[in-house]
Structure 1
Amino acid sequence: MLNLPDTLSRQFTAQLDQKQHPENIKHFYRKWLRFYWDFCHKYHYDPYHRSSLPSFLDKLDQKGQSAQQREQARQAIVLFYQVKATADAEDAELSSNAVQTLPMQAPPRPDVLLEKNSPDPNHPHHLSPPYEHPRHPAVSDNTHQNNTVAEKQTGCSWVFVFDELTREIQLLHYSPKTLKSYRGWARRLQAFTKSKDYRALTQQDVVAFLSDLAVEKKMSASTQNQAFNALLFLFQHVLKKDFGEIKGVARAKRKPYIPVVLSREEVELIFDHLDDPVDLVAKLLYGCGLKLFESLNLRVQCFNFDAGVLTVHDGKGQKDRTVPLPQTLIPALKLQLRKVADLHEADLKANFAGVFLPNQLSHKYKNAAKEFIWQWFFPQPSLTLVAETQEHKRYHLHESIVQKAIKRAVNDAKITKRATAHTLRHSFASHLLEANYDIRTIQELLGHSDVRTTMIYTHTVQSRTLKQAKSPLDFDRE
């Protein structure tokens, strides 16, 4: 992070002292000003212009800063603008006094006049500019005009872009993770183009950006594809422009992916090192082939114990599917259901506001959030305070809790594979394939739209042909 210029830091501190702010407030105000200064330099905004403030506050919102923190940051930057205005006024007054006291005898020499009017870096009210555009050699008027136009296109606000991007993604009911990812790539493009006017963005800007990711930053093929998809969405849904066909971009080759798969014994070892309720989550990941977010988003109504079926709503690709419930888990699942019922009863007595519901369901069904069928099957132990409404709601168990617990279990079990929560889903598919289940059946259970995605698991099991691959060293062992 960039440090504030010494002169600016002294002036801002003096203003804080004059306002008689408490020491803890002074600390936070200086912190917000540093963040703002760094933000303006990174995204090529003019820190002295008030139009840069909304973009900075939008960035804080993206970073998850609360409304109270954003308001404190706004107050700090407004105070900085006041410092700048005061310094400008005093500089103007000093300049005016200097002109009035010039001797009337002989006109001053040009070099003397230049020296007197040059800003003194040690002057207490002199503020250094945040950055300077590079000096260009003497060129024709047309070239100078083009450079001026290019400079005017940078440092523009992208608040509209991020607001529209958020609105479009919410309209399409994309996941919060997709929104976070797409906003991140839009922010990177903004920094790369030096906050160029988004209305002037062209395909060439995208080509240059993607080439920089591949050549300079050496990002993987999957990351480049993610960036491409995010910018494609940005152009089509937000900027309303034709993306066209991207040519001439250096792309990293995508390596064939072979997933990590655990043996049945290793899976059992992991289960042995997990505590309730994470052990039940892990058993559903393996026993039903669920993704982690699918298992944690399960609600009471998803379980049909009579039919032995689990319904996954808004799963992979926002599609619903059904999978068979493992019969060995039925007693543990029913015990968990009783725990959820007890917690729900206690929440109702405490007059809680219900659980978080998908999309706008809470507006359509006012009482659904408190109904038992909508309760999370794996609820978070504590209630969550909603800052906007000051209501307490129940959220599901956080992904990080499960991820960390499984990582510890893998280490404690001394498993030498790079196993995560998702590895249990890979193991589910691989073990079904080993048991001679049809690839199409596995595709449906996993929720894959393309069977080619499911085919990767054929690389995780041994061939069933008579002449399977074998080392020559093992020929004598037959």
Structure 2
Amino acid sequence: MNSTPEKKTQPKLFPSIIERLSTLQYSKRTEESYIQWIKRFITFHGKRHPRDMGIAEIETYLNHLAEEKKVSASTQSQAKSALLFLYKQVLARELPVMENLVKLKASKTLPVTLTKHEVQVILSNLNGSMWLIASLLYGSGLRVMECLRLRVADIDFAKLEIFVRDTEGYKNRITLLPASLVEPLKAHLVEVQSLHEEDLAKGFGETRMPTGLARKYPESGKEWAWQYAFPSSRLSVTQQTGTIFRHHADEKTVQRAVKKVVKQAGIKKLVTPNTFRHSFATHLLQGGQDIRTVQALLGHADVSTTMIYTQVVNIGGRGVASPLDVI
């Protein structure tokens, strides 16, 4: 009796990608970004399976982004990281060095910063959680996603400290919590806790946890300490398991709120939520704070990254007063 050899079925690509991203504890934002880049790569090459492609197709696509799409260096780098992840972590293939890649150089533009008066104007026109988020961005030097990912346990009111967790390859760090935000933040968390208790009463109340902690402490996602300080207004469903959980607020909501207020205030600068972080660093340096301290608060691995803010401080005659202004 003849028997045909059993054909091995390959696991579906995108579920495998999502599972691997989750196992390695990549953030939800990075997960979404990587999946989009991989989809674009596949579409660009006529929907061929990545298994049937390799370094030549990757270089062709990345060069297309640089030469035809005119993307920034950071965008090309992000696409490259997504494709390298696909081949190394999902398809288990080691790729040779990209010798034909048109590598873009990052432009060294100075960050946009606000004056103290402009910060006051913007904050005075924000309300509720949007005011609190923007105040933390400026008062603690947080990136917008760092602020939105804050857990209740990350806030130490007694020490006036905020613990910033490693989510995108940066090291964990501690930054300051402005004393003026203690009472408003406590009042905000009372409302958040009430929402959490309502979720628990309905059989929900779980938040997304890093994979390692979720396996070690299966019930930790429902504990108050692990809830996001700025939760989403709606519940979400995990694609892999169907678990219903409450994620953190969407950064686009913050971006829209800041953009609206900046326009209303007539401020002619390209202001984003992260502009508050740039202003935090600049104003500390202007106040005479040591650059190493600012580096630690910002979480920069190298002080050269922090040094860019000294250029902002020195704008206008390198920080020197004109003799005409002091006579």
In the alignment, what sits opposite 1:359? 210
The answer on whether the counterparts of 1:316 and 1:447 sit within 8 Å (CA) in structure 2 is no
1:235 corresponds, among 64, 87, 92, to 87
The answer on whether the counterparts of 2:156 and 2:162 sit within 8 Å (CA) in structure 1 is yes
Q: Which runs of 5+ in 1 are unaligned?
A: 1-156
The answer on whether the counterparts of 1:168 and 1:237 sit within 8 Å (CA) in structure 2 is yes
Within 5 Å, give how 1:68-467 maps onto structure 2: 160-317=12-169, 319-348=171-200, 350-360=201-211, 361-384=213-236, 393-462=245-314
The answer on whether the counterparts of 2:207 and 2:226 sit within 8 Å (CA) in structure 1 is no
Matching residue's letter, 1:425: R
Q: Closer, same or farther in 2 for the Cα pair 1:369/1:217, shift >3 Å?
A: closer
Write the deviation string for residues 153-200 of structure 1: whole angstroms up to 9, x where unpaired: xxxx99744333323222211112222222222222222332335334
The answer on whether the counterparts of 2:231 and 2:249 sit within 8 Å (CA) in structure 1 is yes
**2: distance between equivalents of 1:386 and 1:200?**
30
Q: Closer, same or farther in 2 for the Cα pair 1:191/1:370, shift >3 Å?
A: closer
SS at match of 2:89: helix
Q: Closer, same or farther in 2 for the Cα pair 1:476/1:364, shift >3 Å?
A: closer
SS at match of 1:284: helix
**2: distance between equivalents of 1:366 and 1:202?**
39
Which structure exhibits the higher relative contact order, with contacts defined as CA atoms closer than 8 Å and separated by 6 or more residues? 2
Write the deviation string for residues 411-446 of structure 1: whole angstroms up to 9, x where unpaired: 121111110111111111111121222222222111
How many angstroms does 1:382 deviate by? 4.8
Write the deviation string for residues 62-93 of structure 1: whole angstroms up to 9, x where unpaired: xxxxxxxxxxxxxxxxxxxxxxxxxxxxxxxx
**2: distance between equivalents of 1:456 and 1:177?**
27
SS at match of 1:310: strand
TM-score, normalised relative to structure 2: 0.84
SS at match of 2:169: helix
**2: distance between equivalents of 1:288 and 1:416?**
24
Matching residue's letter, 1:192: F
Q: Closer, same or farther in 2 for the Cα pair 1:476/1:339, shift >3 Å?
A: closer
**2: distance between equivalents of 1:408 and 1:428?**
21
Q: Closer, same or farther in 2 for the Cα pair 1:258/1:159, shift >3 Å?
A: farther
How many angstroms does 1:332 deviate by? 1.3
The answer on whether the counterparts of 1:315 and 1:321 sit within 8 Å (CA) in structure 2 is no
**2: distance between equivalents of 1:384 and 1:260?**
35
Larger Rg: 1
Q: Which runs of 5+ in 2 are unaligned?
A: 1-8
How many angstroms does 1:454 deviate by? 1.9
The answer on whether the counterparts of 1:352 and 1:392 sit within 8 Å (CA) in structure 2 is no
Matching residue's letter, 2:131: D
**2: distance between equivalents of 1:249 and 1:347?**
50
Write the deviation string for residues 309-328 of structure 1: whole angstroms up to 9, x where unpaired: 11122345253221121111
Q: Counting helix residues as a fraction of each chain, which structure ranks higher?
A: 1
Write the deviation string for residues 277-335 of structure 1: whole angstroms up to 9, x where unpaired: 21011111111111112212222222221222111223452532211211111221222
TM-score, normalised relative to structure 1: 0.59
Write the deviation string for residues 109-128 of structure 1: whole angstroms up to 9, x where unpaired: xxxxxxxxxxxxxxxxxxxx
Matching residue's letter, 2:85: F
In the alignment, what sits opposite 1:106? none
